[in-house]
Amino acid sequence: MAMTHRHAYGIVRREFLQVGFSGLLGLGLPGLLAGRTRAGAPAPRAKSMILVFLTGGLGHLDSFDMKPDAPEGIRGEFKPAPTAVPDVHYCEHLPGLASHADKLAIVRSMSHNYTNHLNATHEILTGHSQPGAFFDKIASRDDYPCYASALKYIRPPGDGIPSGVMLPTYLMEGPLTWPGQHAGFLGSKYDPLQIKQDPSKPDFREESLSPPVGFSVERMNRRRELLDELAASRDSLSAASANDPMAEQRELAYSMLLSGKVARAFDIHREDPKTRDRYGRNMFGQSILLAKRLVEAGVPIVQANMGRVQNWDTHSGNFKRLKGELLPPLDQGVSALLDDLASTGRLDETLVIVTGEFGRTPRIGKSTGNVNGPDGRDHWSKCFSVAFAGAGIRGGQMIGHSDRIGAYPASRPYGPGDFATTIYKALGIDPETEMRDRLNRPIRLALGEEISPLYTGSVG
């Protein structure tokens, strides 16, 4: 993979001109091709989506699918607590979300077959099984595209606003790069913008959306005029250059950088300090706040990774970590998000999803192939819970249910294909849209059915 040469003060002027701004942004700016979509795409329910991703996997028995009557060693240390909806209970350490239960629909019968983090992440973030999946298979350009990349392929943006942003960390550990974070076989030009900084830090600044040292906006405009003159001169020398593939990329890069709309959204330091306090002055809360700001700026898909790689991977100290480190900031941040979206009317047009790549074992200390402490839960993909809100979702309901110990669905299971189909249809995209892989083979966007009880309230 080609690397951009960087210096202590950013990218030097010569390099800045050579990349035509697109390398500076860290974006593969889209071309003109989109997927083939059948006539009659579904009417969009959502203009945007915020995906709160609990990397590592949240235990469903310790959050939304508690089993207080299960045997000791399964039910855990936490108690169920009443919510704003009669007969609906969440974990006692989610009081904020409990007060918003009327806005939330919890699907408790999600299921797939992969208990490895990398394979499972690909399942959830693309809706497909990773091609040639094996244990710890890292990301490759044979993978399926993430939701933002597919949207960019089908609906190329023309206003300089990226189709997707992932923040505040890139899921990578040593040689392992998590699949499901980029455009896969669609190619790098459809990759979402990746942010690798903690927005709760005082020095947070998304450098890719700011001019490098030595460049003012006025000076960049002069550089743009020079580049345009050079391009025009080249065009006059060669008729073939009329199809210059860089022309659109330059235009989109300049539009995004000079318009300032997305850059202003990243300037979280201008946010009202009281608002920042409500979300929580931590990476969880500020990442969710930044996701909201980006949606308000017009970014259609934002994924906020709640923590570093495998942050929710509680093989030991499950209850101590959930109670002290993980559940409180998640609860505070998502609650503030729902409040703000509802107060501005944006909840009606923003799909909010909270999920991990899988759940955790029902039996405490039980191993599925990993070393676990006596107070830990291992990976479990056969049954887990996902929370949905906004964009027409009927809140206040529990969809599906698990067996008496939370091990397997006791009602209709929903898989990653159903999850993806639900997302695409919410965005007004036909899940039967045809993509093309690197061998030009037709690939269907999503395989599955919409999780219709989210909207109908009927039993799933």
Residues 228 and 222: their CA atoms lie apart, in Å, by 10
103-154 pLDDT tens trace: 999 999 999 999 999 999 999 999 999 999 999 999 999 999 999 999 999 9
- Residue 31 to residues 180, 186, 196, 248, 328: CA-CA distances in angstroms? 21, 11, 25, 7, 43
52-65 mean pLDDT? 97
- State the burial class of residue 37 (Cβ atoms within 10 Å of its Cβ: 0-12, 13-18, 19+): middle
Model pLDDT for residues 385-420, shown as the tens digit of each residue? 999 999 999 999 999 999 999 999 999 999 999 999
> How much is the pLDDT for 210?
53
Could you tell me which residue, 69 or 13, shows the higher pLDDT?
69
Residue for token pair 């399926």: 144
Write down all domains in the chain, each with its CATH number in brackets.
Answer: 45-206+261-456 (3.40.720.10)
What would the two tokens of residue 245 be?
């593939």
pLDDT in the model for residue 308: 80
Least confident of 36-50, 105-119, 210-224, 342-356: 210-224
Q: Which stretches of 287-433 are assigned E, i.e. beta strand?
A: 301-305, 350-356, 359-360, 379-380, 384-389, 397-399
Q: Out of 221-230, 341-350, 395-404, which region has the weakest mean confidence (pLDDT)?
A: 221-230
Predicted TM-score (pTM) of the model is 0.84
Task: Give dist(CA 37, CA 35) in Å, integer.
Answer: 6
Which tens digits make up the pLDDT trace of 304-323? 999 887 799 999 999 999 99
Predicted local distance difference test score (pLDDT) of residue 344: 96
Go through 2-30 and write b for each residue having 16 or more CB atoms within 10 A of its CB, e for each that does not: eeeeeeeebbeeebbeeebbbbbbbbbbb
Mean pLDDT, rounded, of the chain: 85
User: By the 8 A CB rule, do 57 and 358 touch?
Assistant: yes
Q: Provide, rounded to the nearest whole percent, the portion of the chain with pLDDT above 70.
A: 79
Q: Work out the average pLDDT over 152-168.
A: 89
Give the CA diameter of the chain: 80
Integer Cα distance of 104 and 221 in angstroms: 47
User: Two tokens at 394?
Assistant: 């009927």
Query: What is the structure's pLDDT at 39?
Result: 54
What pLDDT was estimated at residue 40?
61
pLDDT at 218 over 60: no
Residues 153 and 183 sit within 8 Å (Cβ to Cβ) = yes
Tell me how far the alpha carbon of residue 460 is from its chain's centroid: 25
